[in-house]
A and B are shown apart, each in its own frame.
Chain A
């Protein structure tokens, strides 16, 4: 099953978080471990498999700003908490859902954003910036036009204004820049390979205290969609 083809064939404008990450995962972009479930029984089973602490999120291609709906359940530490959280989400959301996402909770307060957009003159452009609550103020995004290789991705990272945040930082390990480079290169290749994709927004891309880098939330918007 190709989630992009399904979306295009069905006339959808975007992919859900779960489907977006499935696409990214097949392009070698590290994403959170997660399972899409339909009831609390499945949720608990998935939770046991992934391990605690966990996050539960509603999953739908129509929910672009989950955090604004205030229905992300963070830091769930056992089966009871999972069952309760599942119920709370079901109560709050009355639009149809693809399901509820049981997701590993990624620790780390260093947040990046990465993305893809199409420029009329240059085509596929890959973006990297700083994320988190202050993102709109301090994102300082840097761009490259695809295709480009790891050397160029490294130069892109070097251009980040607050790149010192990627170094060892308050007891945390330096970010794994090789993975970060691979993510940027892959985003570019994905955009070139799949013209159906108009935009990709990975936000946040979290750097864990051990330096690993992972897409925690992601959204793929199809080409030709006005946001």
Chain B
């Protein structure tokens, strides 16, 4: 494990104190300008030095005509220039003493003709000046904790705990809105790697493994270039931090798409299955699943086994139970102690099995505290899945029926929802068992947003919650396997 994150070549790339940007101008349509715009809009607090041959000011910031003119040696150079002048710019950065770069420009090994030779040229320059860089043909980096977003679109995401490395250029940027809308958070840190001429996936795994803001790591993989280093890095990191991969090079059509995309040769799908298993990596079958898994893994303690209880209202139990069956999750019967304790909360007519289908509870708020607490205490189960259907209107009506004055209802509804959500979150923390919610409601519903913001993962359907629970079970299984192994995968 990397003991000191500052030793990573990605440290100054992910958290630079100062940056030089090459290719930003006052022409709003240029890519370089979009990158600088995103950096400014997201509120980066470090020093910014635009470099432009003609403009004196770029987006209202004082500009310098050459790297050599910069008043200090910035931590990082971001290069968004035409392909043919990237090499000379990188050399000028090296002469200035800059040791980290993001090369956004495309037109290297991913294209034919002179592309591969141009890539070799920039690699040689980087070696000469000790420059470590991401790209070429990538879309920068985002670090939501530092409000540093050097991709081409600004983001409104709140800081999150999912760290990401992607070989697909703009994928990270495309996910900003999705993550915020789905989970109410963005990436802790996200790297776009492009052609990986220097820094690659294995470096990112080590960096994100040591990154204190990152609780789960997502990998978008088109091809792994340094196989052994990848396995070794992942085996070390996955012992303490979950890694989820989405591999798109496996099928024949996927393979062709990747070859033209980042110039990488995609390996056979089944080999990658094995590589992921021995690296302790959980494989996701879709983009949504990759983030569902990371979200659940970053939110929950790992289960001790695969036995789950399901708490639901009428309507949903069948779907959840069926999805669990297909995800390898077992649904044990409730213990007699649990049945005894539940009696006080459910009507005598209710048949209490697993899934626990409550149809209605004597007090609707028991659903958020008393009942899940009883279920978490059941010693025959390792985890709990809970269906959430509560709405503001339900709380409103309950307060009205209790005779609460109309003027006080809104404030009380807010307080009640917040109390319920924090109490659910406290339950998971105090019982050390994973608890996953699922609902067809989204974050516009204050219960869903409240639960998520308090740390209870709520997923978009029973199937997705069951699949995520399956990933938690698989994560503990893989981790135990790695811990049992006598020696690391290194040679």
* Stretch binding the partner chain, chosen from A6-14, A15-23, A60-68, A121-129: A121-129
Q: Could you tell me if A123 and B227 are in contact, using CB atoms closer than 8 angstroms?
A: yes
Q: Given known contacts A141-B270, A152-B485, A159-B273, is B491 in contact with A147 (CB within 8 Å)?
A: yes
Query: From A125, which residue of chain B is reached at the shortest CB distance?
Result: B271
Interface centre among A119, A120, A122, A159 (most CB of B within 10 A): A122
Proximity string of chain A (133-154) to chain B, C-beta cutoff 8 Å, 1 when within and 0 when not = 0000000011111011101100
Q: Does B53 contact A (CB under 8 A)?
A: no
Contacts of A155 in B (CB 8 A): 277-278, 481
Q: Does A97 contact B (CB under 8 A)?
A: no
Proximity string of chain B (269-299) to chain A, C-beta cutoff 8 Å, 1 when within and 0 when not = 0110111011000000000000000000000
* Stretch binding the partner chain, chosen from B28-36, B164-172, B218-226, B250-258: B218-226
Q: Could you tell me if A142 and B228 are in contact, using CB atoms closer than 8 angstroms?
A: no
Q: Given known contacts A120-B265, A152-B485, is B227 in contact with A144 (CB within 8 Å)?
A: no
In angstroms, Cα B273 to Cα A159, docked, is 10
Which listed residue (A122, A145, A151) contacts B485, Cβ 8 A? A151
Q: Could you tell me if B267 and A119 are in contact, using CB atoms closer than 8 angstroms?
A: yes
Query: From A154, which residue of chain B is reached at the shortest CB distance?
Result: B481
In angstroms, Cα B273 to Cα A143, docked, is 8
Query: From B279, which residue of chain A is reached at the shortest CB distance?
Result: A145
Contacts of B225 in A (CB 8 A): 121
Q: Could you tell me if A145 and B274 are in contact, using CB atoms closer than 8 angstroms?
A: yes
Q: Does B484 contact A (CB under 8 A)?
A: yes
Query: From B486, which residue of chain A is reached at the shortest CB distance?
Result: A149
Q: Does B489 contact A (CB under 8 A)?
A: yes
Q: Could you tell me if A121 and B273 are in contact, using CB atoms closer than 8 angstroms?
A: no
Contacts of A142 in B (CB 8 A): 270, 273-274
Contacts of A147 in B (CB 8 A): 489, 491
Contacts of B481 in A (CB 8 A): 151-152, 155
Q: Could you tell me if B274 and A143 are in contact, using CB atoms closer than 8 angstroms?
A: yes
Number of A-B contacts (CB under 8 A): 66
Which listed residue (B226, B228, B270, B489) contacts A148, Cβ 8 A? B489
Q: Could you tell me if A123 and B228 are in contact, using CB atoms closer than 8 angstroms?
A: yes
Contacts of A122 in B (CB 8 A): 224, 227-228, 231, 267, 271, 275
Contacts of B486 in A (CB 8 A): 149, 151
Number of interface residues of A (CB under 8 A): 20
Q: Given known contacts A121-B267, A151-B481, A155-B481, is B277 in contact with A145 (CB within 8 Å)?
A: no
In angstroms, Cα B273 to Cα A125, docked, is 12
Contacts of A173 in B (CB 8 A): none
Proximity string of chain A (151-183) to chain B, C-beta cutoff 8 Å, 1 when within and 0 when not = 110011001000000000000000000000000
In angstroms, Cα B481 to Cα A134, docked, is 32
Q: Does B487 contact A (CB under 8 A)?
A: yes
Query: From B275, which residue of chain A is reached at the shortest CB distance?
Result: A145
Query: From A139, which residue of chain B is reached at the shortest CB distance?
Result: B270
Contacts of B265 in A (CB 8 A): 120-121
- A121-B224, A122-B267, A159-B273 provided; 19 other pairs, C-beta below 8 A? A119-B227, A119-B267, A119-B271, A121-B225, A121-B265, A122-B231, A125-B274, A141-B270, A142-B274, A143-B273, A143-B274, A144-B275, A145-B275, A145-B278, A147-B489, A147-B491, A149-B486, A149-B487, A151-B484
Can you list 18 A-B pairs with a CB-CB distance of less than 8 A? A119-B271, A122-B224, A122-B228, A125-B274, A141-B270, A142-B270, A142-B274, A143-B274, A143-B275, A144-B275, A144-B277, A145-B275, A145-B278, A149-B485, A152-B278, A152-B485, A155-B278, A159-B273
